[in-house]
Chain A
Amino acid sequence: EVQLVQSGAEVKKPGESLRISCKDSGNTFTSYWISWVRQMPGKGLEWVGRIDPSDSYTNYSPSFNGHVTISVDTSMSTAYLQWSSLKASDTAIYYCARHDGFHSTGYYLGEAGYFGLWGRGTRVTVSS
């Protein structure tokens, strides 16, 4: 069974840097877009951004653009979400999710596809 395996919980101080990871346990990593989703304590889901692992093309939500960076290492079948300077407001659970879905004619929907496979989430706590 293919899984998205996320890195463990992190506790950081404001201003520190951080990179969390999401590893695809299967062998189709470059075939599917990956998104990152934030869930702040007691709040709803927010889309952070997405990446096409085949060429590292990225899109970001305007709310997160410039504050986070999404990247991949195809040799490790792993996607990353990183911050260069954390804020207390970054405290949240971060999920990675794979874009699934095919058009009726058979082609992959790419970034338009639904979030069919989710990681279990990485809890990030930023506190002084």
Chain B
Amino acid sequence: QSALTQPASVSGSVGQSITISCTGTSNDVGAYNYVSWYQQYPGQAPKVIIFDVSNRPSGVSSRFSGSKSGNTASLIISGLQAEDEADYYCSSYANSANVFGSGTRVTVL
């Protein structure tokens, strides 16, 4: 089971929107609507920000949204804020396994 492919880094200015892609295969991202996204600050445990492709847990900013098309899922951060600077990981269910993406470092310029 290979890691899902994410861009290593994405940057944007405060107020802009950015998109992080997460590309898998027809055995994981493409097969199930069980894609989730996690935000991780240095020295902290990850925290879920999107689950089941496009659902936000209670308390997560509406600036975070998710979508999926075919084998690629996307996380969109709108109205980028300084506190959004962190690492972001996608994850997908893949029947006998779960798999994470390679991770994306978001930098706020």
Contact = CB atoms under 8 A, between A and B. Distances in A.
Contacts of B40: 45
11 contacts: A35-B98, A44-B89, A47-B91, A61-B97, A95-B45, A101-B51, A101-B52, A114-B51, A115-B38, A115-B48, A120-B45
Interface residues of A, number: 25
Interface of A: 35, 37, 44-47, 50, 59, 61-62, 95, 97, 100-101, 109, 111-116, 118-121
B98 A45 contact: no
Interface residue tally on B, bucketed by range: 20 to 34
Contacts, number: 64
B45 A119 contact: yes
Contacts of B34: 101, 109, 112-114
B3 A114 contact: no
Interface of B: 1, 3, 32, 34, 36, 38, 40, 45-48, 51-52, 57, 87, 89, 91, 93, 96-103
Contacts of A44: 3, 87, 89, 100-103
Given A59-B96, A121-B45, 13 more contacts: A35-B98, A44-B89, A45-B40, A61-B1, A95-B45, A95-B46, A114-B34, A114-B52, A114-B91, A115-B46, A115-B91, A119-B45, A120-B45
Contacts of B89: 44-45
A112 to B, nearest CB: 4
Contacts of A47: 91, 97-100
B52 A118 contact: no
Q: Which of A47, A59, A95, A115 has the most CB of B within 10 A?
A: A115
Nearest to B47: A118
